[in-house]
Copies of this chain bind each other. A is one copy, B any other.
C-alpha cells in the first residue's frame, strides 16, 4: 500500500487532526479550495507552485478518503475533474484559523522582511 498505514488510534484530538493535515501541501489545498469553492486539477496545480503531480494526486486521494474533499469526474473529452470541500473539510478549515493567525504572528516575529513590503492581507486566510 503506497499511501501509508496511518490513522492510528489517537491519544487525543490534536493527534487525529494533525494526522489529516500533515503532508507538505494539504494546508494549501484546503486554503485553495476554501478560497475558490471549486477547483480543477490543473488549477490546484497552478495554485501550489512547486508541487509535483504525484504529490498532488496522492494528497487529494488521501483527503478524499478522509472525507475532507469531494472528487467529481465528468465523462467528457477533454477530461474534467473537480474538487471541492466537504462540510468536514470546511469545519477543519475553520478550526485551523486560529492556528493560522498564530503562524502569521510567528512570521512577523521571525521573517518580517517577508511581510513588511506587503500589508497583512498579503497572506490571508479567506
Contacts and interface: CB of A to CB of B under 8 A. Distances in A.
A27 B18 CA distance: 9
Given A9-B114, A111-B9, A14 B96 contact: yes
Interface string A104-122: 1111001100100000000
Interface string A19-36: 011100001101100000
Contacts of A101: 13, 95
A96 B15 CA distance: 11
Contacts of A31: 12, 14
Given A18-B22, A18-B27, A12 B100 contact: yes
A120 to B, nearest CB: 10
Interface residues of A, number: 40
A33 B94 CA distance: 26
Interface in A74-106: 88, 91-92, 94-106
A105 B7 CA distance: 14
Interface of A: 7, 9-18, 20-22, 27-28, 30-31, 88, 91-92, 94-107, 110-111, 114, 123, 125
